[in-house]
């Protein structure tokens, strides 16, 4: 059900979150003509040791592979995959691909 009477009173963009240090931009995912930003929450990035490029690339690869698999809970706008139970999630939505800890959601 769509309610067109609701007024958006505030937005917080991915770029603002990167500028504020909430998110860390780590690159882009390119598929065909689409170019999608890939970010980590700063909590996951620093506590998980993902400053290490090799470790980060392994997680990103796992996440992208997981996002390619269909899931009955995909809603056409957002895909959420649990990569490590209670530890690491990846979400793809209209703004990009975000790797995070569940508590960052």
pLDDT tens digit string along 28-79?
Answer: 999 888 899 999 999 999 999 999 999 999 999 999 999 999 999 999 899 9
Parent domain of 29? 17-70+78-104
The number of distinct structural domains making up the chain is 1
- Name residues whose C-beta falls within 8 Å of residue 99's C-beta, 6 or more positions apart in sequence: 38, 39, 40, 41, 44, 50, 59, 60, 63, 83, 88, 89, 90
Whether 1 has a pLDDT exceeding 60, the answer reads: no
Nearest to residue 94, comparing CAs of 4, 11, 26?
A: 11
CA distances from 35 to 11, 73, 92, 97 (A): 22, 24, 13, 11
Residue 56 domain flag: yes
Residue 12 domain flag: no
pTM of the complete model: 0.89
**Given pLDDT bands bounded at 50, 70 and 90, which one contains residue 14?**
very high
Which runs of consecutive H residues, i.e. helices, occur in 13-81? 14-19, 42-47, 53-68
pLDDT of residue 2: 62
Whether 3 has a pLDDT exceeding 70, the answer reads: no
């Amino acid at each position: 059900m769509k309610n067109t009477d609701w007024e958006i009173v505030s937005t917080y963009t991915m770029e603002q979150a990167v500028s504020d240090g909430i998110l860390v931009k780590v690159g882009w995912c390119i598929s065909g003509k689409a170019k999608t930003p890939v970010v980590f929450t700063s909590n996951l990035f620093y506590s998980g040791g993902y400053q290490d490029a090799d470790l980060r690339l392994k997680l990103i690869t796992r996440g992208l592979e997981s996002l390619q698999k269909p899931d009955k809970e995909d809603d056409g706008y957002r895909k959420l995959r649990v990569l490590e139970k209670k530890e690491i999630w990846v979400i793809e939505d209209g703004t990009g691909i975000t790797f995070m800890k569940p508590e960052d959601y």
